[in-house]
Structure formats: structure tokens, C-alpha cells
Amino acid sequence: DGFNTRAVAAGKAYFGSATDNGELSDAPYLAGLSNTADFGQITPGNAMKWDAIEPSRGTFTYTNGDAIVSLAEKNGQKVRCHTLVWYSQLPNWVKSGGFDNATLISIMKNHITNEVTHYKGKCFHWDVVNEALNEDGTYRSNVFYDTIGPAYIPIAFATAAAADPAAKLFYNDYNIESAGAKSTGAQNIVKLVKQYGAKIDGVGMQAHFIVGSTPSQAAQTTNMNAFVALGVEVAITELDIRTTTPATAAAVTQQAKDYAATVGACKAVTKCTGFTIWDYTDKYSWIPSVFSGQGAALPWDANLKKKDEVYNAILSAW
């Protein structure tokens, strides 16, 4: 019994975790990640991003991404491939290249075609475009938007679909987990891609939450249903729930409830098809490096010890 066993019993495709190449030499960590009772899916935290895959123009390096895919194959886990087009972790040759519209479209298409073809048949999901929106729901200024306009998004989806028709293609973002301008913006992206005649299968809710200010289960359910009404599925793709460190006992109790709210929302929505936490242990969480003084965001602590209260709350919410 575990997270994945319960999620699958509830009709979901998987419960999974992000991971990263540097962590795989930690044997106790690897054993936990490979326990398919808990994790039926993995997401490479960095290995498939543009700066890792095509650090210079036309030079593709797949070693780290391949290592994650091989591990998943060995364990019998699905892979959410992450991510093709994102303003961050984008090499300078793209970011500051000064390319004209046609050239940047061809660079983007070449990147997507090469990477999606390399992983054809191996990616259950692809996060095709990541974080294209500002908080007010308008398009985020980045080299793709500034050079190509909003069409870069449907072009990216159409290109990915051509390279691997079987992969489910996702738009992925944060702060779209409850109703508001940014969620509406993401719904408009779904409509845009469809209007263009390209395929979009789903929207990923990153869900990088804060203990005590996580959207309620009802708010998350309503929001997911707004996406489902547009003819796409949804997935929780990067859940973690951070707090001030060291975490107090009260914070951990609240965190357990907050995790249960997101599980409950996904459970309630048939078309919420999968659920991923952004690594499973505080030992390797990205939070402390980005949000100073924050952390303790995951169900296992920095010593790889299960937080029973949090773990059991997730388990029973399925």
C-alpha cells in the first residue's frame, strides 16, 4: 500500500515524484523513489530542460535525461517529460540570440522535434510550454513571446504532436490552482491552441503551495472543472507545501491538511488524471535554495524519514 497504489485504485494514472540525476547515487533515496507502491511515475527535475538538452545550437546532450528514463523503465514507472519551451533554464544563445521571427520559430521547432523524437514512446506526458503567463493572466514577456507573439504556444504544441502523437501534451504553470486572472489566462491558452488546430491534452497545476494558505479543496475542484469543461484533463505536477523552517508541530499538522485538500480535489475530479510531488524528501527539495528561510515542504524529512502525519493524511485522502 502507498501513494501510487491508492491513486491508481482511485482511477488515476499514477502518483509520482520529481527526481534529479545527482540524487540517484544516494542508495536509500533511490530505494524510496523506486518503491512503486508510492511512486508510479517520475519527472526529471532538470535533465530535460533546454539548457541541459541543447546547451549550444544544434548540440544535443541526452545523457542525464536518458538516465532518468532508464531508471523509470527498470522500475516500471511512467515519465512526465519536462519541459520543452520555458523562459528559464534557457541557454544564452537562445535567450539573447537576437533572432528574427522565422529563425526563432525554426530554432524552437528544431529543438522540440529533436527532443520529442529522441524520447518518442517514452514520455507519458510532455510539458510542452511552461510558465507562459504573468500573475494578471497576460502573456509573460520572454524571447519567444517577444519575437513570435502568442503563436509560439500553438506552434510548440503542433510540433510536439507531430514528433510523438502518443504523448499527452500539457501546458504547465503555477498559481493557476484556483480561480483568478492567471487561471483564466491558462484557460485561454487551451482555447488558443485548439483554435489554431493543434492538440493539447492537459493542463498541469504545479501547486507550489504554502502551509496555511493553500487553496481549499473546493476551490481547487471548481478550478479543475473549469479546465475539464474546455476538453482537457488536468494533473497536479509539482506539489510541495513549504513553511518557515524549522517547521513547528502546528505547521506540520496544517501541512497534512493542506496536502489532503489537493489530493481530495484531484480525487473528486475524474479528469484529474495524475499527481506528482516535486521530489519526495526535504533532503533534495528546491525550496530552501529559492525561498530563503522556507522548506520542510515534502512528506519525507531531510533524513529520509517519513513524516507520519503528512504521509497518512495523503494516503487516507485517496
The catalytic site residues sit at 238
- Contact letters for ligand XIL, residues 231-270 (x by CB under 6 A): -------x--------------------------------
Separation CA 217–CA 224 (nearest Å): 10
Closest residue to ligand XIL, judged by C-beta, is 286
Nearest residue (CB) to ligand XIL, 185 versus 267: 185
User: Rounded to the nearest whole angstrom, what is the least distance from the CB of residue 46 to ligand XIL in the complex?
Assistant: 5
The distance of closest approach from Cβ of residue 98 to ligand XIL in the complex, given in angstroms and rounded to an integer, is: 26
Buried b (16+ CB within 10 A) or exposed e, 159-195: bbbebbeebbbbbbbbbbbbebebbebbbbbbebbbe
**C-beta closer to ligand XIL: residue 45 or 154:** 45
Q: Does residue 43 belong to the site contacting ligand XIL (CB under 6 A)?
A: no
Alpha-carbon gap, residue 164 to 169, rounded angstroms:
10
Q: Where are the alpha helices (DSSP H) in the chain?
A: 3-9, 27-33, 50-53, 63-75, 92-95, 101-118, 143-148, 152-163, 181-195, 217-228, 249-268, 287-290, 308-317
Q: What is the dihedral of CA 197, 87, 291, 315, to 10 degrees?
A: 30
Nearer to ligand XIL, 237 or 313 (CB): 237
Q: What values do phi and psi take at 204, rounded to 5?
A: -95, 125
CB of 45 to ligand XIL, least distance (A): 4
* Touching ligand XIL, residues 172-231 (CB under 6 A): 206
10 Å Cβ neighbour count for 142?
A: 17
Using CB under 6 A, pick the residue from 19, 36, 130, 147 that binds ligand XIL: 130
- Total residues contacting ligand XIL by CB under 6 A comes to 6
Residue 46 in contact with ligand XIL, rule: CB under 6 A:
yes
Nearer to ligand XIL, 69 or 205 (CB): 205
State the binding string over 277-316 for ligand XIL (x if CB under 6 A, else -). ---------x------------------------------
Classify 191 as helix, strand or coil: helix
- Which residues lie across from 294 on neighbouring strands? 244
Nearer to ligand XIL, 276 or 318 (CB): 276
Shortest CB 215 distance to ligand XIL, Å: 17
CB atoms within 10 A of CB 28: 11
Strand partners, 168: 125
If one counts every other C-beta atom within 10 angstroms of the C-beta of residue 145, the result is 17
d(CA 181, CA 163): 32
Supply the minimum distance, in Å, between the C-beta of residue 173 and ligand XIL. 8
Rank residues 77 and 237 by Cβ distance to ligand XIL and give the closer one: 237
Query: Residues interacting with ligand XIL, by CB under 6 A?
Result: 45-46, 130, 206, 238, 286
